[in-house]
């Protein structure tokens, strides 16, 4: 039997307690499913040491760090210097996740916007891509990203993209990437799949957001990086490609955006 095509899980949370005690097995299952690399995300700067340790212990794992918008009201405000210092680590390859979430935490909208601008400044200074979480904040997100990009360019991925077509177009017009999660594989996500289908293939990434948002046939259960393969199959159908071609394209997109991870892999 031929080996599965190589794919990348560009966003997961391997430090979360959902994986406690079985992380080695989770990563092994990912490798068996063709997921050759994973990007695990620290959502609070105080968890960065634990996330960094996972990346240091596993050659196929890279990491990013930032303050999640739903946490900014409860965490010390990150500084550009904080993020720049963390980015010196050879396996820290992105800034975030950051962004805006007005669904549950609209009361902290102003501090979320402040934190987002700090992370953007750090992305500019380090040259690392920004990882954006956006929920029920499309207009503000499009405005801030556009204004800030005019002030100085930076790379960016709209992680777990599930917003509307207007934000998708604004992000694509800035040269940003859209990341396809298990949500895109849900049967009722027809309109979301149409947004992805209208985007250039060279701007698409894959992710799980594990332990959340497992795609069918695992929906409702704990997600894990191996399940990126299920979303990849749906993505291939959306773009009218065979799985191997879609996997190759999205992996090349990851290398283009997360160039530091690509360089580390080449040097290893």
* CATH assignment at residue 158: 3.20.20.140
Average pLDDT, the chain: 96
Q: Is 230 annotated as a binding residue?
A: no
Q: What is the pLDDT of residue 125?
A: 98
Q: Mark 154-178 as b/e (b = at least 16 C-beta within 10 Å).
A: bbbbbbbbbbeeebbebbbebebbb
Helices (H), 107-182: 109-126, 138-151, 165-173
Are the C-beta atoms of residues 51 and 24 closer than 8 Å to each other? no
Does 25 have pLDDT greater than 80?
Answer: yes
**Adjacent-strand bridge partners of 130:** 95, 156
How many domains, the chain? 1
Does 169 have pLDDT greater than 80?
Answer: yes
CA-wise closest residue to 61 among 81, 31, 22, 96: 31
Are the C-beta atoms of residues 180 and 155 closer than 8 Å to each other? no
Domain that holds residue 103: 7-267
φ, ψ at 153 (rounded to 5°): -65, 155
Asked whether residue 263 is assigned to any structural domain, the reply reads yes
Asked whether residue 2 is assigned to any structural domain, the reply reads no
Residue 78 DSSP SS3: coil
Quick one: how far is CA 198 from the chain centroid? 20
Q: Is 133 annotated as a binding residue?
A: yes
- Quick one: pLDDT band at residue 267, thresholds 50, 70, 90? confident
Are the C-beta atoms of residues 109 and 136 closer than 8 Å to each other? no
Asked whether residue 239 is assigned to any structural domain, the reply reads yes
**Once rounded to an integer, what is the mean pLDDT over residues 225-251?**
98
Q: Is 13 annotated as a binding residue?
A: yes
Asked whether residue 179 is assigned to any structural domain, the reply reads yes
- Quick one: pLDDT band at residue 225, thresholds 50, 70, 90? very high
Does 104 have pLDDT greater than 70?
Answer: yes
Asked whether residue 98 is assigned to any structural domain, the reply reads yes
Q: Is 97 annotated as a binding residue?
A: yes
Asked whether residue 83 is assigned to any structural domain, the reply reads yes
**Once rounded to an integer, what is the mean pLDDT over residues 116-121?**
98
**To the nearest whole percent, how much of the chain has pLDDT over 90?**
96
**Once rounded to an integer, what is the mean pLDDT over residues 237-254?**
98
Does 176 have pLDDT greater than 80?
Answer: yes
Asked whether residue 23 is assigned to any structural domain, the reply reads yes
Tell me: cis bond preceding 56? Omega within 30 of 0 counts. Answer: no
Asked whether residue 1 is assigned to any structural domain, the reply reads no
- Quick one: pLDDT band at residue 265, thresholds 50, 70, 90? confident
**Once rounded to an integer, what is the mean pLDDT over residues 206-235?**
97
Does 242 have pLDDT greater than 80?
Answer: yes
Does this model's pTM top 0.85? My answer is: yes
């Amino acid at each position: 039997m031929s080996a599965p095509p190589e794919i990348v899980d560009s966003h997961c949370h391997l430090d979360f307690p959902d994986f406690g005690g079985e992380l080695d097995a989770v990563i092994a299952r990912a490798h068996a499913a063709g997921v050759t690399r994973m990007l695990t995300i620290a959502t609070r700067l105080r968890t960065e040491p634990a996330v960094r340790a996972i990346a240091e212990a596993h050659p196929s794992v890279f990491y990013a760090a930032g303050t999640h918008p739903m946490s900014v009201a409860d965490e010390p405000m990150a500084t550009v210097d904080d993020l720049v210092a963390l980015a010196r680590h050879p396996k820290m390859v992105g800034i975030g996740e950051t962004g805006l979430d007005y669904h549950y935490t609209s009361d902290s909208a102003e501090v979320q916007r402040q934190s987002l601008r700090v992370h953007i400044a750090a992305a500019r200074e380090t040259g690392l891509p920004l990882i954006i979480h956006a929920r029920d904040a499309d207009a503000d997100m499009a405005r801030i990203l556009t204004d800030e990009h005019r002030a100085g360019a930076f790379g960016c991925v709209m992680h777990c993209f599930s917003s509307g077509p207007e934000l998708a177009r604004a992000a694509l017009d800035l040269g940003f990437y859209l990341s396809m999660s298990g949500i895109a594989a849900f049967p009722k996500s027809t309109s979301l799949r149409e947004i992805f289908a209208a985007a250039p293939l060279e701007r698409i990434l894959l992710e799980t957001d594990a332990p959340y948002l497992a795609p069918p046939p695992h929906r409702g259960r704990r997600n894990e990086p191996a399940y990126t393969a299920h979303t990849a199959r749906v993505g291939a159908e959306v773009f009218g490609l065979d799985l191997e071609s879609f996997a190759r394209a999205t992996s090349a997109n990851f290398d283009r955006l997360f160039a530091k991870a690509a360089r580390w892999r080449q040097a290893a």
